[in-house]
Amino acid sequence: QSVLTQPPSVSGAPGQRVTISCTGSSSNIGAGFDVHWYQQLPGRAPKLLIYGNTNRPSGVPDRFSGSKSGTSASLAITGLQAEDEADYYCQSHDSSLDGSGVFGGGTKVTVL
Amino acid sequence: QITLKESGPTLVKPTQTLTLTCTFSGFSLSTHNMGVAWIRQPPGKALEYLAIIYWDDDKLFSPSLKSRLTITKDTSKNQVVLTMTNMDPVDTGTYYCAHRGVTYGLDVWGQGTTVTVSS
């Protein structure tokens, strides 16, 4: 049971918009800890997609965007492409866990 | 350019101690705000944050594993070492180290190393 809750899967047709939620609590996201998002392609190491809730590292397409409100965060992918099919993880820290980092359970994005 | 690479045994026996080394380049772990984290992923499962060590030698551990984990750094060798005691088959998986920089996210990851726990 992950501290941060994500839907196991989302899907969409090419060109569509999909969103992935990351629900936390008052000891992590709601406590003001930043949320980061990672993309993990099959058989590959994770890659930082969004940092500090809303920021994209250099080289990440602007089709990816992040938001945060209250005890939740979201990742949106607009103009879905075949190469976006991957697992996506949110990550934050939790004050009830001595400040340790925590990940969501991951969301599999399928491009129909 | 920042790179990290994990090294260590691919097979350990139950109850043994696992020692993994993360060798990095492109940054110094004595620089303010830098950190190196360890994350693992059992086969087909989610990522799990294990531990992180910061430039000032501050350390954070997953509470569920804290009693089994040690993390140290050698800034002269650009290495971070993670040890995990009393290994069990459920500890089987891919172990990653990653750089935490000024973005506070894990912005560069190693390729990962696979560890199997079996007698």
pLDDT for the residue numbered A47: 97
Q: Tens digit of pLDDT for each residue in B63-75? A: 999 999 999 999 9
pLDDT for the residue numbered A1: 78
Query: Does A64 reach chain B within 8 Å, measured CB to CB?
Result: no
Query: Does A103 reach chain B within 8 Å, measured CB to CB?
Result: yes
Q: Is the pLDDT of residue B102 over 90?
A: no
Q: Tens digit of pLDDT for each residue in A3-38? A: 999 999 999 999 999 999 999 999 999 999 999 999
Minimal-distance CA residue of chain B relative to A46: B109
Cβ of B106 and A105 within 8 Å? Answer: no
A66 to A15, A38, A98, B16, B60: CA distances (angstroms): 18, 11, 26, 42, 26
Beta bridge partners of A87: A40, A108
Q: Is the pLDDT of residue B28 over 90?
A: yes
A49 to A38, A61, A112, B75, B80: CA distances (angstroms): 5, 9, 22, 28, 25
Question: Is residue B54 very low, low, confident or very high in pLDDT (cuts 50, 70, 90)?
Answer: very high
Average pLDDT of chain B to the nearest whole number: 96
Query: Does B42 reach chain A within 8 Å, measured CB to CB?
Result: no
Query: Does B38 reach chain A within 8 Å, measured CB to CB?
Result: no
pLDDT for the residue numbered B49: 96
Dist. CA A104–CA B14, nearest whole Å: 28
Mean pLDDT of A45-68: 97
pLDDT for the residue numbered A99: 86
In angstroms, how far is CA A21 from the centroid of its own chain?
Answer: 7
Mean pLDDT of B25-35: 94
pLDDT for the residue numbered B106: 97
Three-state secondary structure call for residue B55: coil
Q: Tens digit of pLDDT for each residue in A61-93? A: 999 999 999 999 999 999 999 999 999 999 999
Cβ of B105 and A104 within 8 Å? Answer: no
Identity of the residue in B48, B61, B105 whose CB atom sits nearest the CB atom of A48: B105
Average pLDDT of chain A to the nearest whole number: 96
Mean pLDDT of B40-45: 97
**Contact residues on chain A for B102, CB-CB shorter than 8 A:** none
Dist. CA A23–CA A71, nearest whole Å: 6
| A&B contacts, CB < 8 Å | 71
Q: Give a three-class secondary structure readout of chain A.
A: CCCEECCCEEEECCCCCEEEEEECCCCCHHHCCCCEEEEECCCCCCEEEEECCCECCCCCCCCEEEEEECCEEEEEECCCCHHHCEEEEEEEECHHHCCCEEEECCEEEEEC
Mean pLDDT of B86-114: 96
Question: Is residue A2 very low, low, confident or very high in pLDDT (cuts 50, 70, 90)?
Answer: confident
Q: Which residue has the tokens 């009830």?
A: A96
Give the gap in angstroms from C-alpha B110 to the nearest C-alpha of chain A: 7
Q: Tens digit of pLDDT for each residue in A92-111? A: 999 998 889 999 999 999 99
Burial of A85 (0-12, 13-18, 19+ CB in 10 A): middle
Dist. CA B99–CA B110, nearest whole Å: 9
Query: Does A27 reach chain B within 8 Å, measured CB to CB?
Result: no
Minimal-distance CA residue of chain A relative to B43: A43
B20 to A18, A74, B62: CA distances (angstroms): 38, 34, 17
